[in-house]
């Protein structure tokens, strides 16, 4: 992993205290103790990455309704759209590929609405993996449903259940280029990616096979989405830049 900022927690909080960072969650069957029930889940590295950058993580499970969404957004200082399962391809006008995962309508509905509300509020956000795909679809874009078929290799998710690594290059003058430099090795685990970019989104990072690995929302205060999993690495620069911006709200 290239770069600095891998030590003590970053002092991102301003006079008003540390920023509240909402993080979307999975909604999956889970087992604990004697129980097997549907649960709101989030891999711990997301919350730890926010904490280490100086923020306070707040979990955002998919609600039964969208009532109060604007109130929720108004009380947060930033949002992380987390990774997870595949979006329903009907949401971007595509026929389901055999390798596309089962639909999760409640999560899809909430996260698409949340992404639009965050954009409308000019709230800082960091979208990760599925989160980048949610953002793209929310802005009218479309997705590649199964990358191995499109690019001819499995380098973006080399082993089932294990995070891999590959290099990305960034666009000179972009937000992410200013944070990471011209290139960086990143943790990767995904089989889908952006195809048609949504409105206002600009591609700013690419893998060696030209798969889009990051996009930025033009004109937004801090609107960054990455296809990789920065929470799984030891390079904290993306989370630190995001939380610093959220702290200034």
User: How many alpha carbons lie under 13 Å from residue 126 in its C-beta half-sphere?
Assistant: 26
Q: Is 213 a catalytic residue?
A: no
Among residues 10, 213, 229, 240, the one annotated as catalytic is 229
- Calculate the alpha carbon distances from 93 to 36, 167, 196, 212 in Å: 35, 31, 12, 20
CB contact at 8 A, 124 and 245: yes
- Calculate the alpha carbon distances from 200 to 37, 53, 150, 213 in Å: 40, 28, 25, 16
d(CA 158, CA 190): 9
Q: Is 231 a catalytic residue?
A: yes
Among residues 129, 156, 191, 213, the one annotated as catalytic is 129
Among residues 231, 232, 240, 245, the one annotated as catalytic is 231
Q: Is 97 a catalytic residue?
A: no
CB contact at 8 A, 134 and 233: no
Give the active site residues: 129, 229, 231
């Amino acid at each position: 992993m290239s770069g600095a900022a891998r030590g003590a927690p970053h002092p991102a909080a301003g006079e008003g205290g540390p920023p509240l960072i909402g993080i979307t969650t999975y909604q999956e069957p889970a087992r604990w103790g004697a129980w097997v029930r549907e649960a709101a889940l989030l891999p711990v590295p997301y919350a730890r990455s926010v904490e280490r950058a100086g923020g306070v993580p707040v979990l955002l499970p998919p609600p039964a309704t969208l009532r109060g969404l604007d109130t929720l957004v108004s009380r947060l200082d930033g949002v992380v759209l987390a990774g997870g399962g595949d979006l329903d391809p009907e949401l971007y006008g595509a026929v389901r590929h055999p390798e596309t995962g089962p639909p999760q309508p409640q999560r899809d509905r909430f996260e698409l609405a949340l992404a639009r509300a965050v954009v409308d509020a000019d709230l800082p956000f960091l979208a990760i993996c599925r989160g980048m795909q949610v953002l793209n679809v929310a802005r009218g874009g479309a997705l590649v449903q199964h990358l191995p078929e499109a690019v001819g290799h499995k380098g973006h998710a080399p082993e089932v259940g294990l995070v891999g690594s590959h290099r990305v290059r960034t666009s000179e003058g972009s937000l992410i280029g200013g944070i990471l430099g011209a290139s960086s090795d990143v943790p990767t685990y995904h089989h889908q990616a952006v195809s048609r970019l949504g409105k206002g989104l600009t591609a700013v990072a690419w893998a060696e096979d030209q798969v889009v690995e990051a996009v930025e929302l033009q004109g937004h205060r801090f609107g960054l989405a990455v296809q990789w999993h920065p929470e799984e690495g030891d390079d904290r620069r993306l989370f630190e830049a995001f939380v610093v911006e959220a702290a200034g709200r």
